[in-house]
Amino acid sequence: MGTMQACVVCSSSEDVNKDMFSQLFESERGADITLLVGSENAMERIPAHSWVLSHSNDYFRSLLVGPLRNPSQNTFTIPDVHPSHFINLIRWLYGCGCVAEGTQSALGTLKVAIEFLCPELVLHIVDHLSRKLKPSNVLQILAWADLYAPNTLPSAPPLCNDPRDNIQGDCQRLYPSLNPPSKAFHVSMSEPHHLGHQCKPSLHRLKSAPGRIIVADPTEACAILVRNCWSHINAHAVEVLSSENLESIPHSLLLKVLRSDSLVVPDESLILDAMFRWSSAQCRREHQPMTLTGRRQVLADILTTPRLLTLSAQQVHLMEKFYTSEEIEFVKQKIKKKSSCPNVPSLFHDVVNEMARPRNQVNNGSHGAPDGRRQKNTKKDFIMNFVSIIALAID
Query: What is the rounded average pLDDT of the residues 1-16?
Result: 40
Q: What is the pLDDT of residue 330?
A: 95
What CATH number is associated with residue 36? 3.30.710.10
Residue 340 has pLDDT above 80, yes or no: no
Query: What mean pLDDT do residues 331-346 have?
Result: 85
Residue 151: the pLDDT is: 67
The mean pLDDT value for 209-221 works out to 53
What per-residue confidence (pLDDT) applies to 218? Answer: 74
Residue-level length of the chain: 395
Integer CA distances (angstroms), 382 to 371, 376, 387, 392, in order: 16, 10, 9, 15
If asked whether residues 318 and 199 sit together in one domain, one would say: no
Write the pLDDT tens digit of every residue in 191-201: 322 223 333 33
Q: If you ran DSSP here, which 8-state letter would residue 361 be given?
A: B
Reported pTM:
0.69
Residues in a beta bridge with 361: 265
DSSP 189: T
Closest by CA position to 302, among listed 321, 315, 289, 330: 321
272-297 pLDDT per residue, tens: 999 999 999 999 999 999 999 999 99
Q: What is the mean pLDDT of residues 335-344?
A: 79
What is the tens place of the pLDDT at every residue in 114-161?
A: 999 999 999 999 999 999 999 999 999 999 998 888 764 433 333 333
* Strand bridging mode 44-48 / 33-37: antiparallel
Name the nearest CA neighbour of 52 among 77, 18, 87: 18
Q: What is the CA radius of gyration of the chain?
A: 27
In terms of Cβ atoms closer than 10 Å to its own Cβ (0-12, 13-18, 19+), residue 260 is buried
- Residue 118's pLDDT is what? 92
Please report whether residue 245 resides in a domain: no
Q: Distance between alpha carbon 322 and the CA centroid of its chain, in Å?
A: 29
Q: What is the mean pLDDT of residues 351-358?
A: 94
- Is the per-residue pLDDT at 182 higher than 70? no
What is the percentage of the chain residues whose pLDDT exceeds 90? 50
Question: Domain check: are 32 and 156 in the same one?
Answer: yes
Number of H helices, E strands in the chain: 16, 5
Confirm whether 246 is domain-assigned.
no
Residues 351 and 203 grouped into a single domain: no
Range of 285's domain?
265-362
Whether residues 189 and 329 share a domain: the answer is: no
- Asked whether residue 216 is assigned to any structural domain, the reply reads yes
- For residues 304 and 187, state if they share a domain: no
- Tell me which range, 143-147, 216-220, 381-385, is most confidently predicted by mean pLDDT: 143-147
Number of domains in the chain: 2
Based on the domain organization, do 176 and 69 belong to the same domain? yes
